[in-house]
Structure 1
Amino acid sequence: MANRRIGDRETADEIVQDVYARLLLSGDHGTDEENVKVLYASVRNAVIDHHRSTAGRTGLMRRILPIQLWQREASSPHDHAQSRQALSALDRALLELSPKAREMFVLHRVDGVSNAKLAQKYGISVSAVEKQLARTMRHCQQRLEAYRDTD
């Protein structure tokens, strides 16, 4: 069920494992049938939560880089200067991050490495990768606020 709704087997497996572990810690909920119902309901809710959090992070990531940093072909000298300033501000913002956060950001945004592969590389969960990328994006967005395209 989770795999079908999420479309990413690794993420779905992680969600199901997290839910199962939490349910094991919370104890028995009655009969086997009732336990299965609780498990399915919990997984369904976790999938919904995952979609909500992913949508928020995706929106955040879409708002920051392309428009702010790369100039259009027919840009004016003023636009070109603003793009260079924004790129410098991004460089400074990235230098304020830990080396791991900076590397994760570059691997994801520049090299296109998936969250699952980043999780495997750093030995953390996909959720932890998503949260780190979201923190990094918020940090960069705050630093780039002066250079946002308000058109």
Structure 2
Amino acid sequence: MRPSLYEFAGGEAAFLALADAHHRRCLTDPELNHPFSHPDQHPQHVARLAAYWAEVLGGPPTYSTTAGDHLGVLRMHAHNGPMDDLGRRFVACFVAAMDDVGMPDDPAFRAAMKAYMEWAVADVLVYAPMDSVLPADAPMPHWTWDGLSAG
């Protein structure tokens, strides 16, 4: 049986490194810098981001048990108005951050990780319009080598 993406990536330490590298890349991007440099950003943003990605990609439910749920993530990013190409830039930073931290270079792994982030960005951007309506519930997504899992 194939390990989860979380396990294949290297577990908790790998996701902490990925979230940190991604955050640093976003801070240096001229378009992403603004949303990533807010003074009111949660002091544990990087650790929470790592826990969220880890949980979605097959790791332990640390985010759900300590920080919130998927609906909270959607709420946090909703109603920000037009995003232009922020989504594309965010994905590009994610892909580059995988290189920065030496994530496995396995093509199937890289494809699954990029596909997850493209899906995640699209999932969030659906609620970017100022008049968008959030769902009443949004279960935590689970992403596998084959994409979004139904269970």
Normalising by structure 2, what TM-score?
A: 0.29
Larger relative contact order (CA 8 Å, sep ≥ 6) = 2
